[in-house]
Amino acid sequence: MELKPYRDNVGALLFNGAGLVLVARRADMPDAEGAAGGWQLPQGGVDPGEDLRAAVLRELAEEIGTDRAEIIAEHPEWLTYDFPPELAGRGFRIAQRYRGQRQRWFALRFTGRDADIRLDADSHPEFDAWRWAGIEELPALAVSFKRPIYEVLAQAFGPLARALASAAKSR
């Protein structure tokens, strides 16, 4: 695995007006009991030469059916995780080609309505359910190999989530 490269990737913490973050449940990674897989934040690969800010909006449109969002913050560092070896053995195509992912994360303010989120917008949906969650829930919702990144994100963007929630309460 160490000889494989990391895949460049962007991730989105999409905040609603109450400071909650959109999480979606993977449809293609069943758990040990065969149920749908872990919850995660929208994320996806960056095309060669693609601007990272454009990529995160494109990924939102592809994965959750809307790009009704504005970027309000960016994590200053690339964060990486390795794929567990069993993913490649289960036919997870990306894990066969890459060691893991090198990600740039963005916080975005959702400017649409819940009805604008359409998991069925793509002919091969990645997710089968979504919900709004508190940022502190992220690490517990993540699959184990993504948990360290979600811990960093919860800490880094926690103050932003609290500020959005506080502003919503004062309206």
In a domain, 51, yes or no: yes
Range 156-162 average pLDDT = 97
In the structure, what pLDDT confidence band is assigned to residue 31 with cuts at 50, 70 and 90? low
pLDDT tens track for 44-65: 999 999 999 999 999 999 999 9
Query: What letter would DSSP give residue 114?
Result: G
In angstroms, the Cα distances linking 6 to 17, 19, 146, 150 are 34, 31, 14, 18
Q: Say if 36 falls within a structural domain.
A: yes
Say which CATH number the domain at 40 has. Answer: 3.90.79.10
For the entire predicted model, the pTM comes to 0.92
Residue 25's domain comprises 10-170
